[in-house]
Amino acid sequence: MDNITRKIADLLQLPTRSVENTLELLKEGCTIPFIARYRKERTGSLDEVQIAAISDFNNKLTELEARKTTILKTITEQGKLTPELEKRIRECEDAEILEDIYLPYKPKRRTKAQVAREQGLEPLATLICLGRESDPMAAAKRFVKGDVKTAADAIKGAQYIIAEMVSEDEKARQTVRRSFEREATICSKVVKEKADNEEAAKYRDYFDWKEPLKRCPSHRLLAMKRGEAEGILRISISTDDGDCLFRLRRSRVNGKGPCARLMEEAVDDSYKRLIEPSIENEFAARSKEKADEEAIKVFAENLRQLLMSAPLGQKRVMGVDPGFRTGCKVVCLDQQGNLLHYEAIFPHQPVSKTREAAAAVERLVELYGVEAIAIGNGTASRETSAFIKSIKFIHNVKQFVVSEDGASVYSASKIAREEFPDKDVTVRGAVSIARRLMDPLAELVKIDPKSIGVGQYQHDVDQSKLKKTLDLTVESCVNTVGVNLNTASQHLLTYVSGLGPTLAKNIVDFRRDNGPFTNRNQLKKVPRLGPVAFQQCAGFLRIPESANPLDNSAVHPESYKIVEKMAKDNGCTVLQLMKDAERRKTIDLKKYVTETIGMPTLNDIMKELEKPGLDPRNQIEEFDFAEGINTVDDLREGMELPGIVTNITNFGVFVDIGVHHDGLIHISQLADRYVSDPNEVVKLHQHVRVRVMEVDRKRNRISLKKISQ
* Side-chain-facing half-sphere of 331: CA atoms under 13 Å: 25
What's the pLDDT score for residue 50?
Answer: 96
Residue 11's CB is within 10 A of a number of other CB atoms, namely 15
What's the pLDDT score for residue 60?
Answer: 93
Please tell me what DSSP assigns to residue 548: S
Please give the Cα distance from 33 to 30 (Å, whole number): 9
Please give the Cα distance from 309 to 305 (Å, whole number): 6
* Whether the Cβ atoms of residue 158 and residue 124 lie closer than 8 Å to each other: yes
Spans in the chain with pLDDT lower than 70: 1, 709
Please give the Cα distance from 403 to 166 (Å, whole number): 58
Residue type at position 512:
R
What's the pLDDT score for residue 623?
Answer: 85
Provide the CA 681 distance to its chain's centre, in angstroms: 21
* Whether the Cβ atoms of residue 668 and residue 653 lie closer than 8 Å to each other: no
What's the pLDDT score for residue 23?
Answer: 96
Q: Minimal CA–CA distance to 179: which of 249, 239, 94?
A: 239
Q: Minimal CA–CA distance to 216: which of 248, 255, 188, 250?
A: 188
Please give the Cα distance from 124 to 136 (Å, whole number): 8
What's the pLDDT score for residue 196?
Answer: 86
Dump pLDDT digits (tens) for 547-585: 999 999 999 999 999 999 999 999 999 999 999 999 999
Residue 646's CB is within 10 A of a number of other CB atoms, namely 20
Judge residue 185's burial from the number of C-beta atoms within 10 Å of its C-beta, 0-12 exposed, 13-18 middle, 19 or more buried.
Answer: middle
Please give the Cα distance from 339 to 318 (Å, whole number): 10
Residue type at position 442:
A
What's the pLDDT score for residue 45?
Answer: 95
Instruction: Report in angstroms the alpha-carbon separations of 41 from 1, 474, 601, 607.
Output: 19, 25, 7, 17
Instruction: Name the helix (H) or strand (E) containing 276.
Output: helix 276-307
Dump pLDDT digits (tens) for 592-644: 998 889 999 999 999 999 988 788 888 888 888 888 888 899 999 999 999 99
